[in-house]
Amino acid sequence: MKFDQKAFQYHEKASIQKAVADWCSDWIERDCSPYTGLELGAGTGLFTKHLALRGFKEFRATDLSLSMLKEGKGRLPLVSWERADAWKGDWTEVDRIYACSLLQWAPEPKKALRRWRESLRPGGRILACFFIEGSMQEFSKVDQRFSAISWRSESRWKDIFVESGLRILRSDIRSDLIAYPTAKEALRHIHDLGAVDANRMSPSELKRLLKTLSDTNRNGFDLSWRAMRVECEPSS
């Protein structure tokens, strides 16, 4: 992934991530003054801006990328920004953990969720929103190597949460379709976000993929996104 390299333009380009962050924010408690909060993978602050308004007793926004942290702090200077690896769980216990547009990138989601669960104080909760199977399917149906990750279904994600020792309090799904003039424009947009793995397809293979999509989508190209939001707590 190249998020660190694209941090300077991520905030303006991440339209679907912004829509999903706004959607997920509906499930943030209105008054968070009794709680300490931690956001993982905060990026440039698309979701952070909602959390910053909830009056936490203490709140930290974190990301592994120094470039993302710089961008986020520039936009939300009153928020406490720190560097942290979301998959390692090396932070102090908190009451609430938040992660938006992050969990789909976890190399081992069950291990990550277990660490998040272990970081919660008694009565703690996790609110996570992430992309699932169906996202960018117009590309991956033509060639599975296009996707930088293996997309998981809604049911598989529910199993992962349960297997991680978490009880799902509520969950929901949303689907979006973003229109582009061509498949090439859609691909350029994905590249601008940094959500690419340059080693999966050669330039010639990618060129053939785009030609195939261009030949079958002459009147424009619609790209699918499917997101899931989950609020959960430790099951024991």
- The per-residue pLDDT for range 20-60, each reduced to its tens digit, is 999 999 999 999 999 999 999 999 999 999 999 999 999 99
Contacts of 122 (CB under 8 A, 6+ apart): none
Give the other-Cβ count within 10 Å of 138's Cβ: 18
The amino acid at residue 234 is P
Domain boundaries defined on the chain: 3-133+150-177+226-234
- C-alpha distances out from residue 152 to 102, 134, 190, 221, Å: 14, 9, 19, 24
Q: Is the pLDDT of residue 143 over 80?
A: no
Model confidence at 148, pLDDT cuts 50, 70, 90, reads low
CATH number of the domain located at residue range(s) 3-133+150-177+226-234 in this protein: 3.40.50.150
Exposed (0-12), middle (13-18) or buried (19+): which is 62, by Cβ within 10 Å?
A: buried
> Going by DSSP bridges, is the β-strand pair 58-63/36-40 parallel, antiparallel, or unpaired?
parallel
Task: Please state, in angstroms and rounded to a whole number, the distance separating the CA atoms of residues 216 and 75.
Answer: 41
* pTM score, whole prediction: 0.89
Token pair recorded at residue 83: 């560097």
